[in-house]
Amino acid sequence: MTLTTDPPPPPDSTTATINGGTTSDLNPEPPFPTPPEELRVPISWPEDGNLNIDWIHNLISSFDWSSRNLSPSQLPSIFPVQVFDSLVLTASKMLHKEPNCVTIDPFRNNPDSSDSATATAAAATVVVVGDVHGQLHDLMFLLRDAGYPSEDRIFVFNGDYVDRGAWGLETFLLLLAWKVFMPHNIYLLRGNHESKYCTSVYGFEKEVMVKYGDKGKHVYRKCLMCFEGLPLASIIAGRVYTAHGGLFRSVTVTPSKRLKGKKNRKINLNSDSKILSLGSLEELAKARRSVLDPPWEGTNLIPGDVLWSDPSKSPGLAPNKERGIGLLWGPDCTEEFLKKYQLKLIIRSHEGPDAREKRDGFDGMAEGYTIDHIVESGKLVTVFSAPDYPQFQATKERYNNKGAYVVLEPPNYDNPIFHEFSAVTPRPKVNPYYDFEDVIDSDEELDLTSMVTS
Ligand SMILES: [Mn+2]
């Protein structure tokens, strides 16, 4: 029998705290390593409430460091709940004020430029990003790779910031910080995972509870309130429509023949017996998006469609039976929508490599994007920005997919340039926040009855 030759740990190596003091014996938290001197932690909220680029960079470095060196429950020592409150309150106010479909005008910084060549030269590039799903390090790479939001570069995120990945909270907070810093240079749309139902099944709720402990319920509730404020869609330069899921039905109330002139009205519901027709941007503008879970029945169906629908290779509109909510829409609907609004491109997200594995006729998501419909007026594409997804997977064989983002350049913004990227390795080792072996690996077969639809 031989004795272990491992050296003993250096004395006092674990007593330093982030404030340079020492851990109290009463502190039940495990001690943590000293952060590098260049990090200004714990993060504090600026007295004047104005974030600047240094604050953002410090936040990025601090989240990167804490994700690699601290246990999840030590996050509040880096990002105190008071700072969380200030950030989320400020961002929520901004987001709630945005319309359901935000208009992005990349020329607006040069309103008086009469020379079109000059206007084009000074117009901003637009970057469209798909699902991120809590893969913080991959998002950090994407932002560096594409170039940070600036007067020359406007970002549109298509939602699904949280769930599945282990850093949904940091991911969402980082994006909120950018939003507060540059509200007109980054737009955050809602994904189907920004909801009470999805976050209770796919990990985000538990993640928040583990990270913020006795303040967890408060933090989770504030996140849900913020999710309710996220806009649903965007129109870029009058040419491109983006949304997480995609197109949506008309919910126009049509007087029934028999009850003509009466107050009773007939409404198109999500049922096979009713004829579905494509919704208009006017209807989208009027939809009530401030719901914890977009309803799958009743009259407020547009948010559920925009967040949950998928394209189909078959023509027409049909209920999305696989998901139990939202629609399937065919190339004819893509054409109808593009033509009606003189658009050239639809960029949606929502389908990762796992979802695409089960879809006949569609390309997989190995490259992080697919071109789904090519029609007379333009194209429909899917972009997915979480590489090596999902972070936790029950089978040994991984999809090893790349992530992608879309760059749209002036003056036309209608020719998508796809940038692919691989996952940042090694990904820090952490425990998942949901039972990834038992929870179905796609968003299908939802227990809709447990959704909060009021
Ligand atoms: Mn989705």
Q: What is the dihedral of CA 83, 89, 90, 93, to 10 degrees?
A: 170
Averaged pLDDT of the chain:
89
Instruction: Kindly give the distance from the C-alpha atom of residue 183 to the centroid of ligand 1, in angstroms, as a whole number.
Output: 24
Tokens of 39: 């990090």
Roughly what angle, to the nearest 10 degrees, separates helices 216-229 and 81-97? 20
- How far apart CA 46 and CA 67 sit, in angstroms, is 23
Report the C-alpha gap between 274 and 271 in whole angstroms. Answer: 6
What is the spatial distance between Cα 51 and Cα 293, in angstroms, rounded to a whole number?
Answer: 31
Place of tokens 């209807």: 283
C-alpha distances in angstroms, 166 versus 29, 136, 171?
20, 8, 9
Mean pLDDT of 390-409: 95
From ligand 1's centre to the CA of 241, what distance in Å?
17
Residue 1 scores a pLDDT above 90: no
Q: Phi and psi at residue 307, in whole multiples of 5°?
A: -90, -25
The rounded Å distance from CA 348 to ligand 1 centre is 10
**Which amino acid, residue 108?**
R
**Residue 23 — pLDDT band, cuts 50, 70, 90?**
very low
> What secondary structure letter does DSSP report for 12?
T
- For 65-107, how does the pLDDT look when each residue is reduced to its tens digit (9 = 90+)? 999 999 999 999 999 999 999 999 999 999 999 999 999 999 9
Model confidence band, residue 385 (pLDDT cutoffs 50, 70, 90): very high
* Distance (Å) from CA 77 to ligand 1 centroid: 31
Whether residue 442 is predicted with pLDDT greater than 70 in this model: the reply is: no
What ranges in 98-214 are assigned the alpha helix state H?
A: 116-122, 136-146, 168-181, 196-201, 204-212
Q: How many A from CA of 409 to the centre of ligand 1?
A: 26
Q: Kindly list the protein residues that place their beta carbon closer than 5 angstroms to ligand 1, a single-atom ion.
A: 160, 192, 350
pLDDT of 370: 98
Q: What is the pLDDT of residue 120?
A: 72
Q: What local confidence, expressed as pLDDT, does residue 438 receive? A: 82
- C-alpha count within 13 angstroms, C-beta hemisphere, residue 53: 3
Average pLDDT of the residues in 339-346:
98
351 alpha carbon – ligand 1 mean position (Å): 6
Kind of pairing, strands 345-348 and 240-243? parallel
- Specify whether the CB–CB gap between 291 and 275 falls below 8 A: no
Gap from CA of 184 to ligand 1 centroid (Å): 24
| Of 57, 96, 137, 193, catalytic | 193
Which residue has tokens 């030590």? 74
Region at 155 (left for phi over 0; alpha for psi -120 to 50; beta for the rest): beta
pLDDT the model gives residue 117: 72
- Provide the pLDDT confidence category of residue 14 given band limits of 50, 70 and 90: very low
The answer to whether the CB of 232 falls within 8 A of the CB of 100 is yes
pLDDT in tens, 157-167: 999 999 999 99
Q: Which residue has the tokens 């020492």?
A: 22
Residues 399-413 have a mean pLDDT of 97
Distance 417 CA to ligand 1 centre (A): 22
Domains of the chain, earliest start first = 41-234+339-454 (3.60.21.10)
How many Å apart are CA 399 and CA 364, to the nearest integer?
10
Q: Convert the pLDDT of each residue in 280-321 to its tens digit.
A: 999 999 999 999 999 999 999 999 999 999 999 999 999 999
What is d(CA 385, CA 367) in angstroms, rounded to the nearest whole number?
A: 10
For 379, left (φ over 0), alpha (ψ -120 to 50), or beta? beta
Token digits for 159? 């939602």
Cα separation, 338 vs 329, whole angstroms: 13
Which of 156, 163, 25 lies closest to 103, judged by CA? 156
Predicted confidence at residue 255, as pLDDT, reads 57
Provide φ and ψ at 150, rounded to 5°: -160, 180
Phi, psi of 201 (to 5 degrees): -100, -35
Amino acid identity, residue 1? M
SS3 category, 107: coil
Strand bridging mode 317-319 / 153-157:
unpaired
Ligand 1 center–CA 205 separation, angstroms: 17
Residues 6+ apart with CB under 8 A from 328: 309, 310, 311, 312, 314, 317, 318, 319, 320
Q: At what angle do helices 216-229 and 204-212 cross, to 10 degrees?
A: 140
Rounded Cα distance between 237 and 234, Å, is 10
The residue assigned the tokens 């003993």 is 8
Q: Are 137 and 427 in contact (CB under 8 A)?
A: yes
Rounded distance from Cα 308 to ligand 1 centre (Å): 7
193 catalytic per annotation? yes
Q: How confident is the model at residue 394 (pLDDT cuts 50, 70, 90)?
A: confident
